[in-house]
Structure 1
Amino acid sequence: MIEDWRGVADELEIRGVLARVAQYSDTGDLADYAALFTEDARWSMAGWPEKTGRAAIREAGAARRAEGQTGPGSATRHLVGTVAVALDGDRAIADSYWQFWVETASAAPRLFSMGAYRDTLHRTDHGWKIADRLITPG
């Protein structure tokens, strides 16, 4: 019975990590955003250069903010839903759908893109962290 509760707690924490990555991408501090990834994490999306390591993922977020693509003042929102989590000890796979909205401060926000995440997460001494994020548009 205790294992059942641990699985529920793990899944809730993982769902929180996915939510915080989206929220911090839009409005949060990039240090908090990057802290949700392992030190050697991989971030991969078709059409974009792959990022390896927490520092590179943070730098890519800073570059997107400098270009006004995301971050505070950009009027963008990442929405994550339809999340399915498969736990395997200290490792988990989370599959979810995402939507990226722009012009959210207007009366008619616009869906810019959407797709799927496949996140591999590892339990660390500091909680669950994303070790690999594969982003598939469409």
Structure 2
Amino acid sequence: MIFSLEDRVRRVADELAIRNVIALLARYADEGTLEDYGALFALDACWELPGARIRKGRADIVAGGAERRAAGVAGPDTHTRHLVSTVSVALDGDRAQAESYWQFYATTDSVPCLQSMGYYRDLFRLTAKGWRLHYRQVTLG
């Protein structure tokens, strides 16, 4: 398939925007506000993690983030960090799929300790407010 220069520029801009959403999700999970975190999800988003209740809808996903913060396992002042790497993005018009590896560290204020790792399989939609995460499947290992 041959793309025009305009199409190629748009595809690069879209891919960078999606990569930024992935990065900001990790950053906001650690240090941002839950409002900023939630704004990166589509209203009807779905978030799946093995062994946890499936979260459906932005409000439910944000509630899960609030629960993790209340439990002291993630969020500001918990000395934890989500690291995301090896990101690949496949665009398809106003939808996209991304896959990436993640690592979750604790005790980052002293000797960081890898707590868990795995990969994300993400589906994105382009909305009036930009690219938003529509579905995240978290896989451990």
Residue 30 of structure 2 aligns to a residue whose secondary structure is helix
CA distance in 1, matches of 2:16, 2:26: 16
| Structure 1 residue identity aligned to 2:65 | G
Q: Which residue of 1 aligns with 2:42?
A: 38
Instruction: State the aligned residue count.
Output: 137
> Unaligned stretches of 5+ in structure 2?
none
C-alpha displacement of 1:2: 0.4
1:126 to 129, 135, 141: 129
1:22 to 19, 26, 29: 26
After TM superposition, the runs of 4+ consecutive aligned structure 1 residues lying more than 2 A away are none
CA distance in 2, matches of 1:18, 1:61: 16
Output aligned runs, 1:61-100, within 5 Å: 61-100=65-104
CA distance in 2, matches of 1:76, 1:15: 21
CA distance in 1, matches of 2:134, 2:113: 31
C-alpha displacement of 1:136: 0.2
**TM-score, L = length of structure 1:** 0.99
| Structure 1 residue identity aligned to 2:133 | I
CA distance in 2, matches of 1:35, 1:81: 22
The CA RMSD measured in Å over matched residues stands at 0.3
CA distance in 1, matches of 2:138, 2:64: 15
C-alpha displacement of 1:74: 0.3
Tell me, yes or no, if structure 1 residue 51 matches structure 2 residue 44.
no
C-alpha displacement of 1:11: 0.4
CA distance in 2, matches of 1:129, 1:89: 14
C-alpha displacement of 1:24: 0.2
Structure 1 vs Structure 2: percent identity of aligned residues?
Answer: 53
| Structure 2 residue identity aligned to 1:104 | T
C-alpha displacement of 1:90: 0.2
C-alpha displacement of 1:101: 0.4
Residue-by-residue CA offset, 1:56-87 (whole Å, 9 max, x unaligned): 00000000000000011000000000000000
Residue-by-residue CA offset, 1:64-117 (whole Å, 9 max, x unaligned): 0000000110000000000000000000000000000000001x1000000000
**TM-score, L = length of structure 2:** 0.97
